[in-house]
Amino acid sequence: MKNNALSAVISFKSLRRLYIFALLTIAVTVLLSQLLIQHNLNSQLSDSKIINISGKQRMLSQKLTKEILILNFITQKEKSKEQIARIHEIMDLWKFNQEALEKGNDSLGFPKEKSAALSDLFVAIKPNFNTILNAATVFLENKKLGINEKENQVLVQTILDNGAVFLEKMNEIVGQYDKEALEKVRLQSKTEYGILLFTILVLLLEFIFIFRPTNEKVEALISKLLFSEKKALKLARDTEIISEAKENSVKELKSLNYAMENTLLYCRVAPNGSIIHIGEKFSKLLQYNPFLSDKTFAEALTPIEKEQNLLNQILLEKQRTGWQGEISITTRNEQTIWLDLSMVPVTIKKDESELLVICFDITERKIAEYEVERLNTENINDKINQQKVISSKIVENQENEQNRIAKEIHDGIGQMLTGLKFSLESINLDEKEKSAQKIEYLKKLSLDIIKGVRTATFNLMPPELSDHGIVSSLTKLTQELSKLTGKEILFYNKTDFDKRLDSLVEINIYRLTQEAINNALKYADSSHIIVQLSHSPTLLSVIIDDNGKGFDIASVEKKRNSESGMGLLFMKERIQYINGRVFFNSIPGEGTRITFNIPI
């Protein structure tokens, strides 16, 4: 018996050591995982900043080209000086960013070492960068002195030619940065999966070699204790044997208590609900002192009467069959905790029994489950509300557009047709001179009516879009809006795109471009707008640049209920209809660039 008790103590100590080792292993694994995640996040932040600056380089190169083109047409000296100063600022920022990307920069956190592919790309782009920089410098000097206009035209053409090549190569650099960042993310994902599998393996081994043996040991020790008690009663006359049996029982009970006190939330409960014994860990959790109180099990768990009644009902109904489930209780300090509670009926004697209650504190798990459920509910509600707002705004815009067209036809074309009718009725063929004057007036009025009808039909569906495609319709759109507003609105088909697309794709590209130009005219107070179209074998890009007052993208996107915020949201929603993407780049006080990328 002594050997058995000693073996039990050693076994439980071994299990405890294994338990502590397993917990330390999981803690170290989680710590290493977090350190790795934080390291990779910092690396991704740096990569994101590099990609952002690389994208900004493309914008700055185009802005430089745009500003040089504007300067080339300016004849007033004062405006020319202001434009030259602005171009110098753009060139300085452009040069600084390029050197930071190419050679690294400690203040920006850009690494000096690069992959071989990136190094080759920077070497390839260097000649074009230097050519643009040198040509722009000479151009500005000539403009300052007001000389060499012919040379200036050649320099502008050189800048345009090299600008397109610079943009193409800069796109390759951004793509390479994005590719390398994606590889890092994939590596991080694989590493985290490895750590996850290792953690699951540790938990599985912990269950196999710790929790299951502990449960078996508890059951075995309880059985041994009951057997020892029966044997002691049978051998009551043999004092020495009884004494030895009691001694062994006490040792085994101490071993059992030692293991249970330090590993389990447990309690022994009589059929009437009174506490026979409560573990130290359990009593600390409930803030209950068994030496100073004689409360029932339900009263020890919670002071709330409703919860006490539920526990008493479970004890009454399940004291013979046992019970297992999750319950929520309120402690004396008004803190709600969740317990995974198991009641195991134990027979002491023929007519005497008790319940062994074993619990696990699952409060943190429940809090996490409720938080996940709450976040999912909030996310769903936000999406539903957003879709409602979008739907209402779409209906409102459609109604406003219909009202505008009806008003335009009624106030413009309708009144002119009425005037035409009355003028025709008032013609007196006997008065030839007056009749001739009225006929001339009717001709002019007829032309105005035809122009009004064409304008209305152009706003609804430009004939160039259905007849000739997106290039012709965008050319016509910029020309008409430039005439109508008096602003300089230019269109460039940089890659000579001449293919026809699906009608749904073409009308959405047209409406998106129309919306971007109207926003630049309406909100940005722009005087120059450039629309550029380019393509690759798989992608069509439309870029709208303006020199307006710009805006803070983050603050506008937060104001979803404002007109500008809804405008950005509508663009994003419309571009998704054709599987495209939209990018907004804006600097307050300098201008805005909107880029639409559509797969072809």
Q: What is the pLDDT of residues 456-476, one digit of tens each?
A: 555 566 778 888 899 999 999
- pLDDT category of residue 407 using cuts at 50, 70 and 90: low
The interaxial angle of helices 432-460 and 415-425, nearest 10 deg, is: 160
| Edge-first strand listing for the sheet containing 336-349 | 275-278, 265-269, 352-361, 336-349, 323-330
Mapping DSSP onto H, E and C, the string for 102-161 reads: HHCECCCCECCCCCHHHHHHHHHHHHHHHHHHHHHHHHHHHHHHCCCHHHHHHHHHHHHH
Q: CA quadruple 173, 177, 178, 180: dihedral positive or negative?
A: positive
pLDDT tens, 58-117?
Answer: 888 888 888 888 888 877 778 888 888 888 888 888 888 888 888 877 777 777 788 888
pLDDT of 544 = 96
Please name the amino acid found at residue 477. L
Q: What is the distance between the terminal CA atoms of the chain, rounded to a whole angstrom?
A: 84
* Tens digits of residue pLDDT in 544-557: 999 999 888 888 77
pLDDT for 509 beyond 90: yes
* pLDDT tens digits along 84-98: 888 888 888 888 888
Summarised one tens digit per residue, pLDDT across range 172-206 is: 888 888 888 888 888 888 888 888 888 888 788 87
Burial (Cβ within 10 Å: 0-12, 13-18, ≥19) of residue 64: buried
Tell me the mean pLDDT in the region 4-12: 55
Average pLDDT for 137-149: 82
CATH no. for 467-600: 3.30.565.10
pLDDT at position 492, please? 96
CATH fold match for the domains 264-361 and 467-600? no
Between 18 and 596, where is the model more confident?
Answer: 596
Burial of 199 (0-12, 13-18, 19+ CB in 10 A): middle
* Neighbouring-strand partners of residue 546: 529, 592
Kindly compute the dihedral angle of the four CA atoms of residues 187, 188, 193, 194, in this order, to the nearest 10 degrees.
70
Q: Is the dihedral of CA 510, 512, 515, 521 positive or negative?
A: negative
| Between residues 210 and 574, the one the model is more confident about | 574
Confidence (pLDDT) at 259: 62
Q: Report domain extents, the chain.
A: 2-212, 264-361, 363-460, 467-600
pTM value is 0.35
Average pLDDT over residues 42-53: 71
Radius of gyration for the alpha carbons in the chain, expressed in angstroms and rounded: 41
| pLDDT value of position 210 | 73
pLDDT value for 234? 81
The CA–CA distances, whole Å, from 61 to 129, 157, 202, 312, 507 equal 9, 14, 55, 78, 30
Compare 399 and 427 and report the one with higher pLDDT.
427
Look up the CATH architecture of domain 264-361: 2-Layer Sandwich (3.30)
Cβ atoms of 546 and 562 within 8 Å: the answer is no
| Residue-level pLDDT at 119 | 85
Higher model confidence: residue 272 or residue 259? 272
Is a pLDDT exceeding 70 seen at residue 539?
yes
Q: Indicate the pLDDT class of residue 20, thresholds 50, 70 and 90.
A: confident
What confidence tier does 592 reach under pLDDT thresholds 50, 70, 90? very high
Query: pLDDT-derived band of residue 385, with 50, 70 and 90 as boundaries?
Result: low
Tokens of 489: 């609105």
- Mean pLDDT of the residues in the chain: 80
User: Which pLDDT score, from 0 to 100, does residue 538 have?
Assistant: 93
Answer yes or no: is pLDDT of 520 > 80. yes
Chain segment 286-304, per-residue pLDDT in tens: 878 777 667 888 888 888 8
512: left (phi over 0), alpha (psi -120 to 50) or beta: alpha
When the candidates are 3.30.413.10, 1.10.3720.10, 3.20.20.20, 1.20.120.1730, the CATH number that belongs to 2-212 is 1.20.120.1730
User: Angle at the Cα of 54 (from 48 to 57), degrees rounded to 5?
Assistant: 145
For the stretch 408-440, pLDDT in tens is 565 556 666 766 666 676 677 677 777 777 778
What pLDDT, on the 0 to 100 scale, is given for residue 512? Answer: 93
